[in-house]
């Protein structure tokens, strides 16, 4: 990329695109090629202060709109994004290295759907009235105030819009800090807000890294609510920073999800979905099943079919519609994943496929960040690679002899985000699901999302729930008004 077509982004504060006060920049690279594609402001406390001031100044006007008026704004934002849907997909694929088919079908589509969903969902939200013999209680959902939103790089606009939409709907004003690794579509969202005339200060974006921009946002005394999605270690820091000011806090953190294949699973017809659950977005989805637990009676048959399907996936050019898997987000992340594969070998694991650079990889991607989908057999269920979140295209395989043992292994990690169960007996699968310590369990499907249901993790996978009424509750303060009858 030459200097002339290098994308330069600015912060979006008080309705203006403006550079960071400190005039430092962060380089942003294409994961597929390793090329420099953009530079973003390396913002710091002063920029966060400006954005929080803008959000504070805008709060009275925005929060005094009726909820129908704010829902109408959400629809206009969705329309604005819809008109740039292909651009969202292209930017997301460029910025993350993910296949364009995924960026179109999941990232772009869901980002728009998030705004439409919350705009419509609020219309179904019935007024809550609790009658007493001598009084009437009425629940009012008031805005919390200034919402600080912090998001990761794996599903950039998808996860940002999942927070922005309910935050604005409920009357809060927003300061968002997207991941420094994937700033492009957050900027596009700011452009859409600007184009359609969202009042200045209602929505602000501050680009930068976690320490310089994220930390001052989470500890800012005027920020009333923090919604954070990211790693568990960062979540711990965010929780510490938010606690002294008693901010409302939602933490959507890491996972180490189990995929349980029961003895009666239809492994032939379900194999494409099981592979998708393992490797979608190169395994960089918090919900991916990175540990596959297989009933011992079908272990060999499953492993042969699974490895066969995985090795036939097309890994390469993210802009090709036929590509299944793209690049990893950064060189550092690739190296971290490689170090886990090395640990697996030292722990006695057998690499059945993958383990390094994809074979016959095109030269145009030689400087990008790639690992072929990797399947590891022979590790104990409590080995490092089966217990720690790798967040990449790596799965470990483990046999079990009965449901009790499957549950024991599934619940062995410190995480508790998601899981899936594959079985011909849906009732048995549903009962087994109740015994898995995680926020979400799918039976005979994976990532089959209804946006009304609660989303979130238990144990080290998070605190709180978002989605549907849970988002409405989190992004507001429920206040009771009790009126004694005359």
Show which residues are catalytic.
252, 286
Question: Is 219:141 a contact under the CB 8 Å cutoff?
Answer: no
Nearer to ligand NAP, 326 or 457 (CB): 457
Query: At 63, which helix (H) or strand (E)?
Result: helix 45-63
Q: DSSP letters of 79-146?
A: HHHHTTHHHHHHHHHHHH---HHHIIIIIIHHHHHHHHHHHHHGGG-PPPEEE-SSEEEEEEEEE-SE
Does 174 bind ligand NAP (CB under 6 A)? Our answer is: no
Query: At 332, which helix (H) or strand (E)?
Result: helix 331-346
Of 411, 148, 427, 216, the C-alpha closest to 419 is 411
User: To the nearest whole angstrom, how small is the minimum distance from the Cβ of residue 27 to ligand NAP?
Assistant: 13
User: To the nearest whole angstrom, how small is the minimum distance from the Cβ of residue 375 to ligand NAP?
Assistant: 20
Does 230 bind ligand NAP (CB under 6 A)? Our answer is: yes
Nearer to ligand NAP, 177 or 248 (CB): 177
Does 238 bind ligand NAP (CB under 6 A)? Our answer is: yes
3-state secondary structure of 298: helix
Does 415 bind ligand NAP (CB under 6 A)? Our answer is: no
How many other C-beta atoms can be found within 10 angstroms of the C-beta atom of residue 132?
10
Q: Residues with Cβ < 8 Å from 69, sequence gap 6 or more? A: none
Of 83, 65, 41, the C-alpha closest to 122 is 65
Residue 352 falls in which region: left (phi positive, over 0), alpha (psi -120 to 50) or beta: alpha
Question: Is 192:20 a contact under the CB 8 Å cutoff?
Answer: no
Site stretch for ligand NAP (CB under 6 A), options 31-39, 234-242, 359-367, 370-378:
234-242
Does 231 bind ligand NAP (CB under 6 A)? Our answer is: yes
The site string for ligand NAP over 364-383 (x = CB under 6 A, - otherwise) reads --------------------
Does 19 bind ligand NAP (CB under 6 A)? Our answer is: no
Question: Footprint of ligand NAP on residues 103-122 (CB under 6 A)?
Answer: none
Give the integer Cα–Cα distance in Å for 279 and 446. 12
Which of 457, 464, 467, 468 contacts ligand NAP by CB under 6 A? 457
Nearer to ligand NAP, 15 or 156 (CB): 156
Nearer to ligand NAP, 176 or 397 (CB): 176
Site stretch for ligand NAP (CB under 6 A), options 211-219, 359-367, 377-385, 423-431:
211-219
Question: Is 72:168 a contact under the CB 8 Å cutoff?
Answer: no
Does 95 bind ligand NAP (CB under 6 A)? Our answer is: no
User: To the nearest whole angstrom, how small is the minimum distance from the Cβ of residue 388 to ligand NAP?
Assistant: 11
Q: What are phi and psi of 131, to 5 degrees?
A: -85, 140
Closest residue to ligand NAP, judged by C-beta, is: 210
Does 218 bind ligand NAP (CB under 6 A)? Our answer is: yes
User: To the nearest whole angstrom, how small is the minimum distance from the Cβ of residue 337 to ligand NAP?
Assistant: 12
Does 416 bind ligand NAP (CB under 6 A)? Our answer is: no
Q: How many CA within 13 A on the CB side of residue 321?
A: 2
Does 470 bind ligand NAP (CB under 6 A)? Our answer is: no
Does 417 bind ligand NAP (CB under 6 A)? Our answer is: yes
Does 154 bind ligand NAP (CB under 6 A)? Our answer is: yes
Nearer to ligand NAP, 153 or 365 (CB): 153
Q: Residues with Cβ < 8 Å from 399, sequence gap 6 or more? A: 293, 294, 295, 296, 299
Interaction site with ligand NAP (CB under 6 A): 150-154, 177, 179-181, 209-211, 214-215, 218, 229-231, 234, 237-238, 252-255, 286, 389, 391, 417, 457, 462
């Amino acid at each position: 990329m030459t200097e002339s077509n290098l994308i330069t982004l600015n912060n979006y504060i008080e309705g203006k695109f403006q550079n960071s006060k400190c005039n430092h920049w962060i380089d942003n690279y294409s994961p597929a090629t390793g090329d420099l594609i953009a530079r973003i402001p390396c913002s710091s406390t002063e920029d966060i202060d400006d954005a929080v001031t803008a959000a504070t100044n805008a709060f009275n006007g925005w929060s005094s709109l009726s909820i129908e008026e704010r829902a109408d704004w959400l629809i206009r934002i969705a329309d604005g994004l819809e008109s740039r849907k292909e651009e969202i997909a292209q930017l997301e694929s460029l910025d993350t290295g993910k296949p364009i088919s995924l960026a179109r079908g999941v990232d772009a589509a869901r980002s728009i759907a998030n705004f439409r969903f919350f705009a419509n969902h609020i219309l179904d939200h019935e007024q809550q009235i609790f009658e007493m013999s001598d009084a009437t209680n009425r629940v009012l959902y008031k805005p919390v105030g200034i919402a600080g939103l912090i998001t990761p790089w794996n599903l950039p606009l998808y996860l940002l819009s999942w927070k922005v939409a309910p935050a604005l709907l409920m009357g809060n004003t927003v300061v968002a800090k997207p991941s420094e690794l994937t700033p492009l579509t957050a900027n596009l969202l700011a452009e859409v807000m600007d184009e359609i005339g969202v009042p200045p200060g209602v929505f602000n974006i501050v680009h930068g890294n976690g320490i310089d921009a994220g930390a001052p946002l989470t500890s800012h005394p005027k920020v009333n609510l923090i919604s954070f999605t990211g790693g568990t270690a960062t979540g711990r820091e965010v929780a510490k920073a938010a606690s002294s000011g008693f901010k409302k806090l939602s933490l959507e953190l890491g996972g180490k999800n189990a995929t349980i294949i029961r003895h009666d699973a239809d492994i032939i017809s379900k194999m494409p979905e099981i592979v998708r659950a393992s490797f979608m977005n190169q395994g960089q989805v918090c919900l991916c099943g990175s540990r596959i637990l297989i009933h011992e009676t079908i272990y060999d048959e499953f492993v042969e079919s699974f490895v066969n399907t995985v090795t036939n996936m097309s890994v390469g050019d993210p802009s090709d519609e036929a590509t299944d898997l793209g690049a990893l987000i950064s060189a550092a992340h690739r190296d971290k994943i490689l170090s886990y594969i090395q640990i697996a070998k030292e722990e006695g694991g057998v690499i059945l496929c993958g383990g390094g650079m994809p074979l016959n990889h095109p030269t145009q991607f030689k400087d990008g960040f790639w690992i072929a989908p990797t399947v590891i057999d022979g590790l104990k269920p409590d080995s490092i690679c089966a217990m720690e979140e790798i967040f990449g295209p790596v799965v470990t395989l483990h046999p079990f002899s009965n449901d009790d043992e499957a549950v024991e292994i599934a619940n062995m990690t410190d995480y508790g985000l998601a899981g899936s169960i594959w079985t011909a007996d849906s009732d048995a699968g549903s009962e087994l699901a109740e015994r898995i310590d995680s926020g979400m369990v799918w039976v005979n499907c994976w990532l089959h999302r209804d946006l009304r249901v609660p989303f979130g993790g238990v144990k080290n996978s998070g605190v709180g729930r978002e989605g549907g009424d849970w988002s409405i509750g989190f992004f507001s303060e429920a206040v009771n008004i009790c009126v004694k009858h005359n």
